[in-house]
Structure 1
Amino acid sequence: MPTITLKTLINAPIERCFDLARSIDLHVQSMRSSKEEAISGTTSGLIDINETVTWKARHFGINFTMTSKVTKLDKPYYFVDEMMSGPFKKLHHQHIFKTIGTSTEMTDVFEFETPFGLTGLIVERLFLKSYMKNLLLERNRIIKGVAE
């Protein structure tokens, strides 16, 4: 199962970074390239523990719908969102925040698994892991820009 781990240093307080990472509105802004929108559940503001959001987006010319739920939360240090339904066999995203001096280190641990057996495995390795990493990097760039 592919795992993407990213660390982003943000010159802003941990509470601000934590809340921006939970912001539905900022997520939509950071995913403009895929026309992502929140269509059900928590569709604006900050998502919280046990809340869900259903996303509609277009990737690779195909429309996708995915419902995620925040399954763990320890404000302002940690939260996890997991796919409840959607295109992946599994999607588990840990968001970890740590104060370093006057900055915040934001760490993403993003695990996913595609369906379709061997074909899915080939897709993961050929391009999907890189594609997902680039989406996360863009999202983190937006969070950093707004936070700072």
Structure 2
Amino acid sequence: MYQIRYKQFVPTDIDTCWDFFSSPKNLKEITPDYMGFIVKNQIPEKMYEGLMIEYTVTPIMKIPMNWITEITHVTDKRYFVDEQRKGPYKIWHHEHHFKAVEGGVEMEDILTYELPLGFLGKIAHTMFVKSKVQEIFEYRNKKVEEIFK
């Protein structure tokens, strides 16, 4: 398994930050356009434990991949967890933590994932998956900076 951690300071209050990130409707706004992110089911304004989000992404060579994520844990204004139920990863466990700090909010993402296909998955990770995941988080960080100027 692999684990990546990202921290970002957001210059806003915890309520505003939580309202933005706890709305599944904002996920597309912080996802790169080339990912071809399309939500396929009806989603509410606010997430809740047990929420299933079905979407399609095209991360590699415009090949569409179906992905289903479940929101497994939510503690208001502190954290939530999404886990892949169907998709390209063997394991995808993504924790989103929020902490009010002086002048804003510290967000921390902890992504733990594993690829399928054993040795071939390890090669794919080295060749392009790791860099693609990092690129997506870097894009999100830039978008968050733009949104919360």
Secondary structure, aligned partner of 1:40: coil
Q: Distance in 2 between matches of 1:90 and 1:81?
A: 11
- Contact kept in structure 2, 1:17 and 1:143, CA below 8 Å: no
**Identity of aligned pairs, percent?**
24
Secondary structure, aligned partner of 2:40: strand
Residue by residue, what CA displacement relative to the aligned partner does 1:40-85 show, whole Å, maximum 9, x if unpaired? 252x533222111011111112111100011011110111000011
Structure 2 residue aligned with 1:38: 39
Name the structure where strand makes up a greater proportion of residues.
1
In structure 2, relative to structure 1, the CA distance for the partners of 1:23 and 1:137 (3 Å cut) is farther
Runs (4+) off by over 4 Å: none
Secondary structure, aligned partner of 1:70: strand
Residue by residue, what CA displacement relative to the aligned partner does 1:64-110 show, whole Å, maximum 9, x if unpaired? 11000110111101110000111110000000011111210000001
Secondary structure, aligned partner of 2:111: strand
Pairing 1:114–2:123 present: no
Secondary structure, aligned partner of 2:47: coil
Structure 1 residue aligned with 2:50: 50
Structure 1 unaligned residues grouped into runs of 5+: none
Count the aligned residue pairs.
147
Report the more deviating stretch, 11-20 or 105-114: 11-20
In structure 2, relative to structure 1, the CA distance for the partners of 1:27 and 1:40 (3 Å cut) is same
What amino acid maps onto 2:138 in structure 1? Answer: L
Post-superposition shift, 1:146?
1.9
Structure 2 residue aligned with 1:6: 6
Structure 1 residue aligned with 2:19: 19
Residue by residue, what CA displacement relative to the aligned partner does 1:3-29 show, whole Å, maximum 9, x if unpaired? 110000010011222222223232112
Structure 1 residue aligned with 2:72: 71
